[in-house]
């Protein structure tokens, strides 16, 4: 997604690769230090804040969630 790449280029989001450790970090500072925060809801809210700041449309998430409920 273009918004994620833009946020990563700005140093606000770290994109992962194909290797996933058992307990991957979900935070990374611009200097590359990584850590894991146990509060998923807080992490998810911050992630959406960063993506929205780079133009991500939250209504896309609402449409996907609505489609999943209908399955």
Is residue 35 one of the residues assigned to a domain?
yes
pLDDT tens-digit map of 12-50: 888 877 766 778 888 888 888 988 888 889 888 988 999
Q: State the residue range of the domain holding 32.
A: 2-13+25-64
- pLDDT value for 52: 94
Scanning the structure block, which residue is given the tokens 């209504």? 59
The answer to whether the predicted template modeling score (pTM) of the entire model surpasses 0.75 is no
Is residue 50 one of the residues assigned to a domain?
yes
Name 30's Cβ contacts closer than 8 Å, sequence gap at least 6.
Answer: 11
- pLDDT value for 61: 66
Is residue 69 one of the residues assigned to a domain?
no
DSSP β-bridge partners for residue 28: 34
- pLDDT value for 55: 94
User: Which pair of structure tokens corresponds to residue 29?
Assistant: 């500072």
Is residue 34 one of the residues assigned to a domain?
yes
């Amino acid at each position: 997604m273009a918004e994620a790449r833009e946020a990563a280029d700005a140093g606000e989001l770290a994109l992962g690769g194909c290797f996933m450790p058992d307990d991957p970090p979900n935070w990374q500072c611009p200097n590359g230090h990584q850590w894991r925060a146990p509060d998923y809801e807080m992490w998810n809210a911050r992630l959406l804040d960063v993506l929205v700041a780079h133009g991500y449309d939250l209504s896309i998430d609402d449409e996907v969630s609505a489609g999943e409920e209908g399955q």
